[in-house]
């Protein structure tokens, strides 16, 4: 069974100001899609995100999804914590993730700075922290995740 890790990047959720709502949505969807996925890892913004990513990568999961920390707030640093860990970036994924929100008239969707790429044989994707952004992202990712993960392990291109 393929494994996945969900990391919620939110200082306020990590400190108990409010509950993590986006991480559990991701975990539920990934489990429904056949991934072995533990509960979300909840960390504060900043260096803790990089530490959580490095820890998750040691287990070589097929997929890591982060949620939060992709905006313009000075504490939002998920992309900066992710970038040095990626061997290759996949710019089409974040472009596709932003598109539904923009098309739905949510101009703030274009401000998401999330990255996607490959670290070893792990697909790593930064998602926004909002529940709506996460649900939109799941709709975008569902049809391509299996193929992307298969490709990372030497699978053939689909016609």
- Checking if the pLDDT of 41 tops 50, the result is yes
| Statement: the pTM of the whole predicted model exceeds 0.85 | yes
What is the per-residue pLDDT across 98-141, written as a single tens digit (0 to 9) for each? Answer: 999 999 999 999 999 999 999 999 999 999 999 999 999 999 99
Percent of the chain with pLDDT over 70: 97
- Checking if the pLDDT of 153 tops 70, the result is yes
CATH class of domain segment(s) 3-152: alpha beta
Confidence of residue 7 (pLDDT cuts 50, 70, 90): very high
**What residues contact 148, with CB distance under 8 A and at least 6 apart?**
90, 123
The position carrying tokens 């509950």 is 19
Confidence of residue 155 (pLDDT cuts 50, 70, 90): confident
The mean pLDDT of the chain is 95
Confidence of residue 157 (pLDDT cuts 50, 70, 90): low
Domain spans, the chain = 3-152
Compute the average pLDDT of residues 17-42. 97
**What residues contact 151, with CB distance under 8 A and at least 6 apart?**
157
Tell the burial category of 15 from Cβ atoms under 10 Å away from its Cβ (0-12, 13-18, 19+): exposed
- Checking if the pLDDT of 67 tops 50, the result is yes
Q: What is the pLDDT of residue 1?
A: 84
- CA atoms of 71 and 77, how far apart (whole Å): 8
């Amino acid at each position: 069974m393929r494994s996945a890790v969900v990391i919620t990047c939110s200082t306020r959720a990590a400190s108990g100001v409010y509950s993590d709502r986006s991480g559990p949505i991701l975990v539920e969807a990934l489990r429904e899609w056949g991934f072995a996925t533990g509960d979300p890892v909840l960390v504060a913004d900043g260096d803790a995100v990089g530490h959580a990513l490095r820890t998750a990568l040691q287990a070589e999961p097929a997929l890591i999804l982060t949620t939060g920390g992709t905006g313009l707030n000075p504490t939002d640093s998920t992309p900066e914590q992710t970038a040095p860990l990626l061997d290759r970036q996949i710019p089409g994924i974040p472009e596709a993730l932003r598109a539904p929100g923009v098309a739905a008239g949510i101009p703030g969707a274009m401000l998401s700075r999330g990255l996607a790429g490959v670290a070893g044989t792990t697909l790593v994707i930064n998602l926004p922290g909002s529940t709506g952004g996460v649900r939109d992202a799941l709709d975008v990712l569902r049809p391509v995740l299996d193929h992307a993960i298969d490709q990372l392990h030497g699978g053939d291109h689909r016609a």
